[in-house]
Amino acid sequence: MPSTVAVSALMKNYQRLPITILKGKGSYVWDDCGNKYLDYTSGIATCNLGHVPENVHEKISQQLRDLWHCSNLYQIPQQEALAQKLTDLSCFDQVFFCNSGAEANEAAIKLAKKYAKDSGKPERTEVVTFSNSFHGRTGSTMAATAQTKIHKGFTPLTPGFTHLPYNEPETIKKIDTAKTAGILLELVQGEGGVHPADTEWVKALYDYCKQADILIMVDEIQTGMGRTGSLFAYEQYGLEPDAVTLAKGLGSGFPIGALLAKTEAADSFSAGTHGSTFGGNPLAATAGLATLEQIADNKFLNDVKEKSLFLIEALTALQENNRFIKEVRGKGFLIGMEVVNQAGNWVEKLREKQILVLTAGENAVRILPPLTTDIKELGSFIQAIQEVAADFEKKGE
């Protein structure tokens, strides 16, 4: 049995599993008893290149010898290089760096309000988000998140957010152009159950925002950095947002977040309007640049598309033959498997087989392989899913 801490000085805000992970490499992690697990959580879509990728490790090791932090009072070449790479690979012109996804979304919310005021529309102070969304746990991003379970115990919420139905055509008619500064949207809802946005709905929403001069901002905290098979998920929808937020997979596990925006909006962040002490420091920016250089390769992304399609097709075939698997959905390696029983039961059964996955709500298993996983590992995972499904079928649970 893994060791446990009898008395902990940590706050109790996490329901931790009885596993102490000490080492990771590639698609695998090892606990303090030497047990090896196939990690298809990727640190919640963070270790997109697997654990301790060689190229990132090498660059970080070099940077550790030179400089860790110097603050944004000074020029940071590594940050400049990462920003240039991100803009070269996207439709955006400028980048703000921070430390997490919640901070990136906070920056996007502030940018929308500032842009509205700079555009002569000071009455536009609200941001629209959508049902089952998840944008973070800070004061503003919690209020932006349209899930009551996230709000519980923290009312009154930060004002200035309107929640509308996701993927419903009537939603667009409900946007109040007199009050709305921006739209914050996930193209694939991760924590909310792995629900991809409908292409036609997104296009109609995009056109409406463009006509009304409302910023459309895409939360790519979980979908970005190759997770859905393209560097950014917005590329698969044929649109160019005004802004996008990144974190998780950008730093291979090092804390870094980013807000990317087009010049017209980005210019509203003039000197002194926003900042971050640690954001984009030399160490984090080095990790981000090394990560991006590998993921942005077209051959790498094509490989992700092929492997993820293989996994989705295999899971769909299992779903057709097992009543406990209701639906398989998602894009790339952001996959949700909706089940008839509790998703937590699947997580537990798979952990017994030394495979780690997540839930996304009560009835969805969230599957997040590292983008570097191979066909053999995928085969082992599919076999384990088949065995768990058969076991539920046999027991009628």
Residues 170 and 214 occupy one common structural domain: yes
How confident is the model over 209-254, as pLDDT tens digits?
A: 999 999 999 999 999 999 999 999 999 999 999 999 999 999 999 9
Q: What are phi and psi of 346, to 5 degrees?
A: -70, -40
Same domain, 119 and 144: yes
Please report whether residue 7 resides in a domain: no
Report the Cα 261 to chain-centroid distance in Å: 18
Res 4: pLDDT:
53
Residue 394 pLDDT grade (very low, low, confident, very high; cuts 50, 70, 90): confident
Whether 386 and 273 map to the same domain: the answer is no
Question: What would the DSSP string read from start to end of 25-79?
Answer: EBTEEEETT--EEEE-SHHHHT-TT-BS-HHHHHHHHHHHHH-S---TTS--HHH
Handedness of CA 358, 363, 364, 365 (dihedral sign): positive
- Residue pair 145/135 in contact (Cβ under 8 Å)? The answer is yes
- Regarding whether 272 and 143 lie in a shared domain, the answer is yes
Calculated CA dihedral for residues 193, 312, 303, 220, nearest 10 degrees: -10
CATH number of the structural domain spanning residue 91 = 3.40.640.10
Question: Span 30-43, mean pLDDT?
Answer: 97
Mean pLDDT of 351-364: 96
The boundaries of the domain holding residue 89 are 54-295
- Is 351 a member of any domain? yes
Please tell me the distance from the alpha carbon of residue 220 to that of residue 111, in angstroms, as a whole number.
16
Pair (27, 65) in one structural domain: no
Token digits of residue 12:
């109790």
**Residue 342: exposed, middle, or buried by beta-carbon count in 10 A (0-12, 13-18, 19+)?**
middle
Judgement on whether residues 139 and 203 belong to the same structural domain of the protein: yes
- Residues 259 and 353 reside in one and the same domain: no
306 assigned to some structural domain: yes
Q: How many domains does the chain have?
A: 2
Helix (H, G, I), strand (E, B) or coil at 211: helix
Identify the domain boundary among 249, 275, 295: 295
Q: How does pLDDT run across 58-112, given as a tens digit for each residue?
A: 999 999 999 999 999 999 999 999 999 999 999 999 999 999 999 999 999 999 9
1 assigned to some structural domain? no
The last residue of one of the domains, among 295, 326, 357, is 295
Please report whether residue 191 resides in a domain: yes
Asked if residue 13 is part of any domain, the answer here is no
Same domain? 282 vs 389: no
Judge if 352 and 237 occupy the same domain.
Answer: no
| Confidence at 397, pLDDT banded by 50, 70, 90 | low
Residue linked to tokens 């500032």: 114
Q: How many CB atoms lie within 10 A of CB 85?
A: 16
Quick check: is 286 in a domain? yes
- DSSP-derived secondary structure for 319-381: HTT-TTEEEEEEETTEEEEEESS-HHHHHHHHHHTTEE-EESSSSEEEE---TT--HHHHHHH
Q: How confident is the model at residue 389 (pLDDT cuts 50, 70, 90)?
A: very high
Q: Are residues 183 and 106 in the same domain?
A: yes
| Cα within 13 Å of Cα(304), Cβ side | 27
**pLDDT value of residue 5:** 53
212 and 222 fall within a common domain: yes
> 313: domain CATH number?
3.90.1150.10
Please state whether 173 falls in left (phi above 0), alpha (psi between -120 and 50) or beta. alpha
Q: 393 falls in which pLDDT band (50, 70, 90)?
A: confident
- Residue 136 DSSP SS3: coil
Residue from 192, 188, 177 nearest 218 by CA: 188
- Number of alpha carbons in the 13 Å side-chain half-sphere of residue 175: 30
Residue with tokens 């998840």: 134
Q: Which of 244, 265, 295 is the last residue of a domain?
A: 295
> Is there a single domain that holds both residue 215 and residue 289?
yes
